[in-house]
C-alpha cells in the first residue's frame, strides 16, 4: 500500500481568507475618499487622488496593526508609499503614450511610409505625401552615430575600469561634464568646426556627428557602471590561467557583461533618437528622399515633427503627431529586438 505523499506548503500563494481584509480595506478607502471629497472643497481628480493617498495609507496601517503589530503597520505604510511612487512613474508614462497614440493614429496609413513630401505641402490632405524621407534620414543618423560613438564609449569605459591609467580621473571628469552638454551646443560645435571651418555642407552624416557627441558620454558612463559589476574573481581567474589582460577582457569580461553593455547602447540611442536642435543646424531638412547620407540635404523624424508643428495648421499638426507616433514605434521595435538578442542564458 503506497504511502500518501505530503503536498508541499506554498506560503506565497495568498487565498481569499488571507486577502479579504486588504480587499475590504481597499474598498473602504475608496468609499471613504468619495465621501470626503463630496463633503469638502477637495473637488476634482487631483483632490480625489491626494485624499485617496492619505486614506489608503491610514487604512492599510490600521489593518496591519489590528491583525499583527506596530511593525507590520509601519511596513504597510512603507509599502503603500512604494506603490504610490511607482504610480508617479507609470501614470505619466501611460498618459504620454495614450496621448501620442490618440492624436497620431488618425494620420497613419500605408502610403505614409512609401512617399515623401517632395511635391506635397504640409497642410495638404493626409492621403497625400508621407514620412519616408524622414524615416530613412533618422535611420541614417542613428546608425552612423551608433557606429561612431559605441566603440569610443566602450573603449573609454574599459580604460576607466580595466586599465585605470594616470589619466583615468581626468577622462572621467570630462565624460561627466559632457553628459550635461545641451544638445544645441553639440549642434553648434559641429556647425562651426565641420561646416564653417572645414567648408562641408549639410548632410545626414553631419547630423550624426552632432548626435555622436551626445551619445558618447551616455554609453561610456553606463558601460563603466556595468563593468564595475563584473566580479573581480573573474579577472583574477583569467590572469591566473595565463591569459593576458586584453584576452581576459575580450574573452571573459566583455561576454560576462554583454547584456549590460547592450543596455548601455540602448540608453545611448534613446538619448539621441528624439533630438531636434542639433539636426536643425546640420541636416538642412529636405522634403525629398535622399539616399546618400554623406551629401545633400536630409531630414529626420524629429525635424519632420518640428517643421509640421511650426506650420500651425490643423493638418500639419496632425502630421506632426503621426510622426511622433512613428518615431515611438520605431524606437520600441528596435529596443525590443535588441533586448531579445541580448537576453541569452548564462550572460551576466
Q: Where are the domains of the chain?
A: 18-105, 132-342
Task: Please report the pLDDT score of residue 71 as a whole number.
Answer: 80
Number of helices and strands in the chain (H, E): 14, 0
Q: Please tell me the distance from the alpha carbon of residue 67 to that of residue 77, in angstroms, as a whole number.
A: 14
Q: What are φ and ψ of residue 298, in 5° steps? A: -135, 170
Q: Is 108 helix (H, G, I), strand (E, B) or coil?
A: coil
Q: How confident is the model at residue 4 (pLDDT cuts 50, 70, 90)?
A: low
**Helix 314-342 / helix 132-158 crossing angle, nearest 10 deg:** 40
Q: Which three cell numbers stand for residue 290?
A: 535622399
User: Dihedral sign, CA of 304, 305, 311, 315?
Assistant: positive
| 310 pLDDT above the threshold of 90 | no
Question: Quick check: 320 and 305 in contact, CB under 8 A?
Answer: yes
Contacting residues for 236 by C-beta, under 8 A, at least 6 apart: none
> Is the Cβ–Cβ distance between 218 and 268 less than 8 Å?
yes
If you search the block for the grid coordinates 538578442, which residue do you land on?
341
Q: Which residue has the cell 524606437?
A: 331
Q: Is the pLDDT confidence value at 145 over 90? A: yes
Q: Highest mean pLDDT: which of 25-29, 41-45, 253-257, 333-337?
A: 253-257
Is 167 a residue whose pLDDT tops 70? Answer: yes
Checking phi first, is residue 199 left (phi over 0); if not, alpha (psi -120 to 50) or beta? left
CA distance 63 to 77: 11
**pLDDT > 60? residue 130:** yes
CATH T-level fold of 132-342: MetI-like fold (1.10.3720)
Amino acid at each position: 500500500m503506497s504511502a500518501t505523499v505530503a503536498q508541499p506548503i506554498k506560503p506565497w500563494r495568498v487565498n481569499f481568507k488571507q486577502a479579504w481584509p486588504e480587499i475590504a480595506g481597499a474598498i473602504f478607502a475608496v468609499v471613504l475618499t468619495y465621501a470626503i471629497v463630496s463633503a469638502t472643497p477637495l473637488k476634482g481628480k487631483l483632490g480625489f487622488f491626494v485624499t485617496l493617498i492619505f486614506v489608503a495609507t491610514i487604512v492599510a496601517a490600521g489593518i496591519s496593526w489590528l491583525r499583527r503589530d506596530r511593525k507590520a503597520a509601519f511596513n504597510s505604510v512603507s509599502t503603500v508609499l512604494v506603490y504610490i511612487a511607482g504610480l508617479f512613474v507609470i501614470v505619466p508614462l501611460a498618459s504620454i503614450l495614450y496621448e501620442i497614440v490618440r492624436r497620431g493614429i488618425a494620420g497613419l496609413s500605408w502610403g505614409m511610409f512609401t512617399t515623401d513630401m517632395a511635391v506635397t505641402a504640409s497642410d495638404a490632405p493626409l492621403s497625400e505625401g508621407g514620412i519616408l524621407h524622414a524615416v530613412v534620414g533618422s535611420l541614417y543618423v542613428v546608425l552612423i552615430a551608433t557606429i561612431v560613438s559605441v566603440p569610443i564609449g566602450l573603449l573609454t569605459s574599459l580604460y576607466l575600469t580595466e586599465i585605470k591609467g594616470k589619466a583615468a580621473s581626468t577622462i572621467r571628469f570630462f565624460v561627466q561634464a559632457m553628459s550635461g552638454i545641451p544638445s544645441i551646443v553639440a549642434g553648434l560645435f559641429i556647425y562651426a568646426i565641420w561646416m564653417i571651418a572645414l567648408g562641408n555642407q549639410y548632410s545626414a552624416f553631419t547630423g550624426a556627428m552632432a548626435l555622436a557627441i551626445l551619445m558618447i558620454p551616455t554609453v561610456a558612463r553606463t558601460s563603466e557602471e556595468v563593468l564595475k559589476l563584473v566580479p573581480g574573481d573573474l579577472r583574477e581567474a583569467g590572469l591566473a590561467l595565463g591569459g593576458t589582460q586584453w584576452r581576459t577582457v575580450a574573452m571573459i569580461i566583455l561576454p560576462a557583461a554583454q547584456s549590460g553593455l547592450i543596455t548601455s547602447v540602448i540608453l545611448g540611442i534613446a538619448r539621441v533618437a528624439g533630438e531636434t536642435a542639433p539636426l536643425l543646424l546640420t541636416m538642412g531638412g529636405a522634403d525629398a528622399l535622399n539616399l546618400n547620407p554623406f551629401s545633400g540635404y536630409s531630414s529626420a523624424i524629429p525635424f519632420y515633427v518640428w517643421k509640421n508643428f511650426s506650420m500651425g495648421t490643423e493638418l500639419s499638426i496632425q502630421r506632426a503627431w503621426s510622426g511622433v507616433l512613428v518615431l515611438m514605434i520605431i524606437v520600441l521595435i528596435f529596443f525590443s529586438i535588441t533586448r531579445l538578442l541580448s537576453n541569452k542564458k548564462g550572460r551576466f
